[in-house]
Amino acid sequence: MIDVCLLGCGGMVPLPDRSLTALLYKYNGKMILIDCGEGTQVSIRRMGWGFKAIEAICITHYHGDHIAGLPGLLMTMGNSGRTEPVTILGPPPLADVVRALTIIAPELPFQVILKELPVEAAACWKIGEIMINSTPGEHLIPSLAYNLQINRAGKFLVENAIAYEIPVKYWSKLQRGETIVHQDKKYIPEMVLGEPREGIKITYITDTRQTDSLIPFAKDSDLLICEGMYGDDSLIGKARERGHMVFSDAAKLARESNSKELWLTHYSPSLGHPEDFLETAAKIFSNTKCGEDRMWRHISYHSEKELS
C-alpha cells in the first residue's frame, strides 16, 4: 500500500558510497520527500520513481546536508512537466531559507506553497489522505521530527446500506467519506461504516537528542527511521553535545514507542561500517536494520498482512 525509500543515510557530507539523508514516501500516486541534501536527485533517479509526483517536501532543519539539494530538485520537477503547486513544510524561518535558495531557480512552472511549522508544539498538515505530523526536536538549531500517517476508515457494511435503502450508486461515495442527499434523505458515512481500522504510520527522526516527547510521537510506528550518528556508546557525550543520538538511543526509542521496525540512518562520516555496531542496537530492539542508500520496502495494511 505504501512504498518508502531511504534515499541516503549519510550525515554532514556526502561520501562516494553514501548519500546524504533523505526519505521518499509514495502512496496512491503521490510522493512526499523528507529532507533534500545535495545529490538527493541522484537516488530518486536511480530508484526510477520520477519527480513529477512529489506533492510536498518536509524539511527537518536548515543545516546544508538536509536542504542544499532543494533548488536543483525544484528545477528538475519543473523540467519533468509538473505544473501543480508543491508544498514545502519546515520550521521557521522557512520563507527566508527558501527565498535564498531559489535565487538560482527563479522561474518555476508551478506555485510553491510554504507552510511554516512551529518549533514549540506539535502540528499537522494534510496532503490528500496523508497526514503529516511534526513535533519539535532538540538540536543546535530549531528542528522537527515527522511522522506520516494513513488513517483507514471502517469496513463498509453492506447490510446497513441495504437496511437504510441507500441506492447502490452512492455506496462508493459514502465509503470515501462523502455525505449524500437524495430525495430529501441524508446519508452519512457513519451509517454504513464500521469502526476505524488500523492504518499505517512511518516516523522519521533525525538531528535531535533523545527526548521523552519523541516516545509518544513515534508510538506504534510500523517503521521508525531514526538517526544513529555514532554506533559506539562511548561517544554518547559527543552526540549529546552536538544534538544527536547514538545507535542505542535510537533502539531505546524504538522499544519504548512500541515501533515494529527500526532503520538507523544519518551516520557520521567517521562511521565507516555501521554494521559493526548493529548488535549494540539489536540487543535493545531486535528488529533493527542498518539503513543503506536506496533501501526500501512496501508496507501493507495490517489486515492485508494477516491475509497474506
Residues labelled catalytic: 65
Nearest of 29, 3, 287, 27 to residue 151 by alpha carbon: 27
Integer Cα distance of 127 and 265 in angstroms: 25
For residue 51, count other CB atoms closer than 10 A to its CB.
20
Rg of the Cα trace of the chain? 21
List, as residue ranges, the binding site for Zn(2+). 61, 63, 65-66, 139, 207, 266
Q: What is the DSSP letter of 10?
A: B
CA dihedral 249, 250, 253, 259 (to 10 degrees): -160
Q: Is 270 exposed, middle or buried (0-12, 13-18, 19+ CB in 10 A)?
A: exposed
Integer Cα distance of 117 and 122 in angstroms: 8
Q: Which three cell numbers stand for residue 116?
A: 511554516
List, as residue ranges, the binding site. 61, 63, 65-66, 139, 207, 266
Instruction: Taking each helix axis as running N to C, give the angle between helix 94-101 and helix 70-79, from 0 to 180 degrees, rounded to the nearest 10.
Output: 70
Long-range contacts of 268-274 (CB under 8 A, 24+ apart): 268/11, 268/12, 268/229, 268/230, 269/10, 269/11, 269/12, 269/13, 269/15, 270/230, 271/229, 271/230, 271/231, 274/228, 274/231, 274/247
* Helix residue ranges per DSSP H, the chain: 40-47, 64-67, 70-79, 94-101, 158-163, 171-175, 214-218, 236-241, 247-256, 278-282, 302-307
Integer Cα distance of 211 and 223 in angstroms: 19
Using DSSP, state whether 180 is helix, strand or coil.
strand
